[in-house]
Amino acid sequence: MCDSCGCDLTPDHSHDSKVIDVHQSLLAANTAMAEKNRVHIEKMGAVAINMISSPGSGKTTLLEKTIEAMKDRLRIGVIEGDIETDRDAARIRAKGVPVIQLTTGGACHLDAAQIHKGLHLLEKEPGGDQLDLLVIENVGNLVCPATFDLGEHHRVVLVSVPEGPDKPAKYPKAFISSQVFIISKTDLLPYFDFPVEEAKAEALQLNPNLLVMDLSATSGEGFEQWLDYLTTICQK
């Protein structure tokens, strides 16, 4: 899948120790940079959240609606991560907040070094150096982004109703490493077999401390809980 996390390495049992060493080295370097990012973000006066999900879960739409609802209450900045194109950044920029697009060129996740660069670029944008909330929209993927700390304070994992309720079982690390689980696109529940309570229960078995919410950014159903959560974390 990508060169930066080692997930494209074909297992070779004669070289297992070498592969493990490479992974440990990558993660150690990333963790060290993530700590620097966290200090940097806190010096900016901001709280950072890292949003992870499969492609098409509604992260960008959720961000757009959040900015519309909170722009008079919170100063929001965004770092967008995608394999190619700046389409999501263009959507966010249209909402009038500072945004930086990071394209990975094939890598399936953002890493802390990329975020470090993104922070410096964001600070050069009008209003980008005075934020209450920094949102990192990670590359659409529930595997690699769960492994890489970016320097965020909170991690939010999304699963949309059309994707089905089995994601906690299939991708447990994404839920174990997160603080918030959002079931998105609930306006589509009449059209899909998605037992909400079962999905919540399965996620909570993995991580009893998860804050779980179900909402629709399109209809606004359940949206106030999300806005209240953002208000609370930015007041601390």
Q: What is the pLDDT of residue 127?
A: 96
Please state, in angstroms and as integers, the Cα–Cα distance from residue 122 to each residue in 35, 125, 132, 160, 175, following that order.
18, 5, 14, 29, 28
Domains and CATH numbers, the chain: 14-235 (3.40.50.300)
* pLDDT above 90: residue 133: yes
- 41-45's contacts with Cβ under 8 Å and 24+ in sequence apart are 41/119, 41/134, 41/151, 41/153, 44/119, 44/123, 44/129, 44/130, 44/131, 44/134, 45/130, 45/131, 45/132
Residues 37-86 have pLDDT tens digits of 999 999 999 999 999 999 999 999 999 999 999 999 999 999 999 999 99
Could you tell me the pLDDT band of residue 26, with boundaries at 50, 70 and 90? Answer: confident
* pLDDT above 60: residue 13: no
